Structure 1
C-alpha cells in the first residue's frame, strides 16, 4: 500500500531520519504510520504482500468505528480462468500494539546516523503480527484465524545513499504525507504461507520490495506501481493530485534502476517534467518523465479481473477500504539519455494500484 510525496511546507524539520524506523506519534490526530512488503518468488513468479500500520484518528470529527490498527496479507488466488489478488485482514485496538526501537519505547523520531532497528507487535485473542528488522535482515510472523505467513529477508538494497528516498531533499520538510522506499530488492531467505495449516506457498529464492508511508492520511486519489525483474531491474512510481495550501497540484515520483547498465535515475516535481495518463477501469498507467540527462517512458497494464476488491488504507478516522491492486501487471520501460534509447525492459509480475477516486467503481467506505 502505498503513496506518495506531497506538498511542501515552508518550515524545515531538523529530523531527517532513516525513515523506515517508527516515528513518535503526535498527541492529537490525524496521523498514521504503515509498512508494506511485497515478496516475489523467483521459482514460480508468485507474489505475496504484507502490510501493517496504525492510525491515530482525528477526534475533532465524528468518530466512526474503523480499526486503528490493521494487518493484511495479500495473496494471488488462481484458477483456470486467471488470478486475482485476495486480502486476508486482521484488526486490532491501539492497546494491542507494542512498537519498540532498539528494544525501548519510541522517544524520538528516526535519524540518519542510527541504523534501522525496530520491532512491531500486535496481538489479541484471534490474531498475532510480529515484524522485526535491523541493518542486516528482516523477519515476520503473522497468524490470523485461518492463515499464516512467516518469512525472512536479507539486508536491504536502498533507494539511495544516506537514507535518501523517492522524495529526495524534500523529505527533509514536514510534509503532510511521506512515501519512503527502504529496499528495492532484498533477497528472500525463506517464506511460507499456510491456509488451514496447509502449506500453500513456500520458497527460498526471490526478492522483496519494502516501503513505508506516514502522515495525516492517504489522499483523495493516487496511482502506484512497483516491479523487480530477475536481472535486478527495479522501478517504483507513485503520485496523484495533492493540495498545496489552497491550490490543488499534481505530483509524481519515479525511480528506475538497472545495475547491469549502471543506470540509476530519479524524477521529482522540482527537477523533472512528469506527466501521467491512467484509467482505473481499463487497468493501465502511462508515465513520461523527463529530467536533465535521462527520460523514461513507463507503461503498466493489468487485466481488470486480476485486481483485488477494495483493500484497506489509512484515513483520518482509521483503516478503510480505499484502493484496488493487482500483482499480475506487466510493465514496459524505455530509458533515454538525451534522445538516444539506452535501455528497454519488459517486466512481469508487477504490482499496480489505483486508489481513492481513481478506483474503478469506487470503494463504498471511501470518503475524500
Structure 2
C-alpha cells in the first residue's frame, strides 16, 4: 500500500533484546469555537507494553487510550480518561495494517476505531470523528488544513533537521494548525451540557519511546478575522488584509528532551498567520529565553530570537487566571502502562499574548501584536511542581 505522512499510524518496532522496551503512537485533536467560547479535545493513544499480548488488527499494540476533555460554560476544563478493551480496537492505514516506517510523502489516510466507543477517520482532505465514553460524547467533521509547511505539508514538522537522524526517542508532528470543523458535544454528568457549532481544529501526533521527564505545551488560535473571507476550504488567504486582522495560530512546546545520549532543555515555537510561517527551534540555534515557567503561577513567558537575528518574538503571557480552569490529570504512556502519576494537566482557558518584530535597516519593527483567548496550556511530568 501507499505510505503516508508522520500523522499516519505505524507498526511498533520490535522490542530490544533483554530490555523492557515499549512504544506508543498517539493523536491529539483540539477544537476552538470562539463564538460559543467552547473547546474540546480528543486524545487517542496506542501502547505496546513489554511482555503484553497484542494483535495485528490493533496495529500491534497491547493497550489503548481515549481521552476527552472540554471547557465548560464556567471556564473549567473537564478531563475524562477511558481505556477500551484492546480486542475492540482496530487500526488501519490505507485499508491495511500499519507499516513500521511511514514515509513523509503523501497525505494520511487512516482509521482508528474502538467498537462501542468511537472512530477517527482521517482522509487526505477531510475527516470525521465520533466518540462516546460514559461521561461525554463528541462528533465532528473537518476539512482543509493549515500544515506546518505549505511547500512540504506531509514531510516538514517541528523536528526540523533532527527528523531523519534517529536521535529522537520521541517524535512530534503537527498535521494542521487549523482545519474548518463542525461539531456536536454533550457532557453526560449531573449538569449536562450541550454545545454545537463550528470552529478550528488543531491536529498533531506523538510517537516513540516515552514522554520526556518534564514538559510544557501551549496551543491556540485567535478569534476569526473580521476582514478576511469565510473559512471556505479551511485555509487562510491573506491577500492585502493587514496582519492585525488575520487569524493567528500557534503551538509551543519545551522541556527536558532526550536527543541521542543527552538530555537538555529544548524549545519549539511556531506561529502561522496569513502567508507567514514563523518557527523557532533551539536545535536550529534559535535563542529561546525562559522568562517565567510556573505551574503555581499558571504562566509561561518566553522571548525568542531567530538565528539570523532578524525575527524576534515575545510570548508575553500564556496565563491562566483561575486555578480551577485546569482539569484532572491526563494519562500518558509509561513503561508500566498508562498512568496519571504524574501524567499532565491542561487548561483550555488560557490567554496568550504575542508580539512579533522584524528587523529592517537595523531597527526592530513591530509587525504583529495579537491576543489569543481560549488557548490551551499544559504542564507535564516534573514541571507540574514548578
TM-score interval, normalised by the smaller of the two chains: 0.7 to 0.9
- Write out per-residue CA displacement over residues 158-194 of structure 1, whole angstroms, 9 at most, x where no aligned residue: 1113221112222122220011110001011333335
Residues 198-236 of structure 1: CA deviation (Å, up to 9, x unaligned): 983333321111110011011110010001012321110
Question: How many angstroms apart in 1 are the aligned matches of 2:176 and 2:261?
Answer: 35
Cα deviation for residue 54 of structure 1 reads 0.9
Matches within 5 A, 1:1-368: 18-28=5-15, 29-59=21-51, 68-79=63-74, 83-123=75-115, 127-160=116-149, 161-162=151-152, 163=154, 164-174=156-166, 175-195=168-188, 200-229=193-222, 230-231=224-225, 232-259=247-274, 262-269=275-282, 270-276=284-290, 277-291=292-306, 292=308, 293-298=310-315, 299-303=317-321, 304-321=323-340, 322-338=343-359, 339-360=364-385
Cα distance in 2 for partners of 1:142, 1:197 equals 20
What TM-score comes out, normalization by structure 2 length?
0.81
| Cα offsets for 1:78-127 (capped at 9, x unmatched) | 44xxx22111221024333211011111234222332210000123xxx5
Cα RMSD after superposing both structures = 2.2
- CA deviations 1:52-92 (Å, max 9, x no partner) are 111112449xxxxxx9311011012344xxx2211122102
Q: 1:326 to 1:218 in 2, by over 3 A?
A: same
Instruction: Indicate the SS of the match to 1:225.
Output: strand
Superposed CA offset, 1:8-47 (max 9, x none): xxxxxxxx95111111212223111100011111321200
**Cα distance 1:108–1:68, how it changes in 2: closer, same or farther (>3 A)?**
closer
Contact 1:55/1:317 (8 A) holds in 2: no
- In the alignment, the residues of structure 1 paired with residue 251 and residue 73 of structure 2 have an alpha-carbon distance, to the nearest angstrom, of 25
Q: How far apart, in 1, do the equivalents of 2:186 and 2:314 lie?
A: 36
- Indicate how the Cα distance of structure 1 residues 42 and 246 shifts in structure 2: closer, same or farther if over 3 A, else same: closer
Gaps of 5+ in 1: 1-15, 61-66, 362-368
